[in-house]
Chain A
Amino acid sequence: GLKETFCAMRLKENIGDPSRADIFTPQAGRISTVNSFNLPILRHLRLSAERGVLYNNGIYTPHWNMNAHSVLYVLRGQARIQVVDHFGQAFFDGEVRQGQVLTVPQHHAVVKQAISEGFEWVSFKTNDNAWVSPLAGRTSVIRALPEAVLMNAFQISRDQAQKLKYNREETFLLSSSRSSQRRAA
């Protein structure tokens, strides 16, 4: 069965092509993912990858990797990245630039903002079907919580809780503080 299983197996998948993006926001950036669904050999390797592009001042909203570590290699540009541990402390808060590698451990919250020339990266993930859990946006944990839980947990009003849940839809967004520098997609 080796011949049938491995010999003719597809070994490559292009994730650099912008038209192949899985998540895309014209103003802020995109992500393409390769996992065991679109490249089955990754099931054996138990690995996957994502290729991301953030335009200038674009923010990839806070999220955590549920079932994998993420080892990020900077392809181009610079970004400010914060990684938060279970103590609620930023155990990485700094800038990364082209050629550098940053490891984001499983379950640790991370946020990225592109600076100056935008930011491009590739992340290697230690699970063939890596899941991300967003903290903000349409599919976020905050959106899925009842308003009453948010009100009590954060000591906020119902109006504030509603804004918290519904004010933001996107995974990628452009920083409002410097929106004049918006780039075309």
Chain B
Amino acid sequence: RRQNECQFDNLQALEPDTRIQAEAGLIESWNPDHEQFQCAGVAVVRRTIEPNGLHLPSYTNAPQLIYIVRGRGILGTVFPGCAETFEESQRGAQGRRSRPEDRHQKLRHFREGDIVAIPAGVAYWTYNNGDQQLVSVTLLDTSNVENQLDQNPRRFYLAGNPEDEFDPEQQQHQQYQEQQGRDRSRRQRSSGNKHNIFRGLNTRFIEEAFNVDSETARRIQGQNDNRNNIIKVKGRLDLVSPLIRSSQERQREGEREETWEEEREREQQERERDWRRSPRGDYNN
């Protein structure tokens, strides 16, 4: 951080400058070029995800701290080399070796008041599995030693056809668009500046790398996808997750779905019951 970047006369309370409306949510960001943010070496984003909305997998060039303002959700992170420890059991016939239904890396449930830390370059996605909006505020520490690029915040999407939440021109486009009263989706398609990272690769490379057909490769590249950064999930997101699985089991048994608080209270009671059952006051092996 250079000292001369912090030489300004007054401070201001700032409202977001850029607003991106997606299929299932809203992304608002503060202009990272503002002298206050330049001084602190940070960028700030507020994200609102509608129920059943999925913020597409992405990673950033700087470490992030995310505060959950409202709602609850599921976070999936991808650390390269870590095992896929959330695994659905095999459904094949007994004794027959078959591939598991699905396996993926650990998922984490979060809720209002939580702080979530995401290292630079680690891909993650978030899903609103609650019944109200999921609102979060994210700080990107662009001056962190982990970021070896310049101080411009960058988000690399792994899917979809997203817009750049930190692009100052985005705001100008937006304002211009509002003045002109034109259809926003038309501008999205015509600007064509922001895509997921697969879009920049040759389609043949993607076919080869994943051993998939050309149609799948084009879908990976997000061609003809106008849902933007936050998409609406069809049905519910079917994940291998302890809480969701137990919730589904209870639904199958005809019980109503628990609220978050009820779920937590029940888990606590189950833990206490297990504790009491154990002869040594500890969990059995």
Contact = CB atoms under 8 A, between A and B. Distances in A.
Contacts of A167: 210-212
A88 B196 contact: yes
Contacts of A91: 200
A168 B205 CA distance: 13
Contact of A59 (B121, B146, B158, B209): B209
Sorting the interface of chain A by its residue count into under 10, 10 to 19, 20 to 34 or 35 or more gives 35 or more
Interface stretch (B2-10, B232-240, B268-276): B232-240
Interface string B198-214: 11111011101111100
A44 interface: no
B208 A59 contact: yes
Interface in B189-243: 193-202, 204-206, 208-212, 216, 219-220, 222, 225, 231, 233-234, 237-240
A144 B105 contact: yes
Nearest to A149: B125
A147 interface: yes
Interface in B50-81: 54, 56-57, 59, 61, 76, 78-81
B134 interface: no
A67 B57 contact: no
A23 B238 CA distance: 35
Nearest to A113: B205
Contacts of B219: 154-156, 160
Contacts of A59: 205, 208-209
B148 A69 contact: yes
A143 interface: yes
B156 A168 contact: no
B137 interface: no
A111 B209 contact: yes
B154 A86 contact: yes
A139 B197 contact: no
A41 interface: no
B76 to A, nearest CB: 7
Contacts of B116: none
Contact of A90 (B79, B149, B201): B201
Given A107-B121, A136-B209, A154-B220, A149 B156 contact: no
DSSP class of A's interface residues: helix, strand, loop or mixed?
Answer: mixed
Contact of B164 (A67, A86, A113, A132): A86
A147 B102 contact: yes
B211 A144 contact: no
A143 B84 contact: yes
B99 interface: yes
A86 B200 CA distance: 9
Given A107-B121, A166-B99, A167-B210, A87 B149 contact: no
Interface of A: 59, 61-62, 64-69, 82, 84-91, 93, 105-109, 111, 113, 126-127, 131-137, 139-149, 152-156, 160, 162-164, 166-168, 173, 175-177
Closest 9 pairs (CB-CB, A-B):
A88-B195, A84-B200, A66-B121, A153-B159, A167-B211, A88-B199, A136-B209, A90-B200, A144-B105
5 contacts: A59-B209, A88-B200, A106-B147, A144-B82, A149-B54
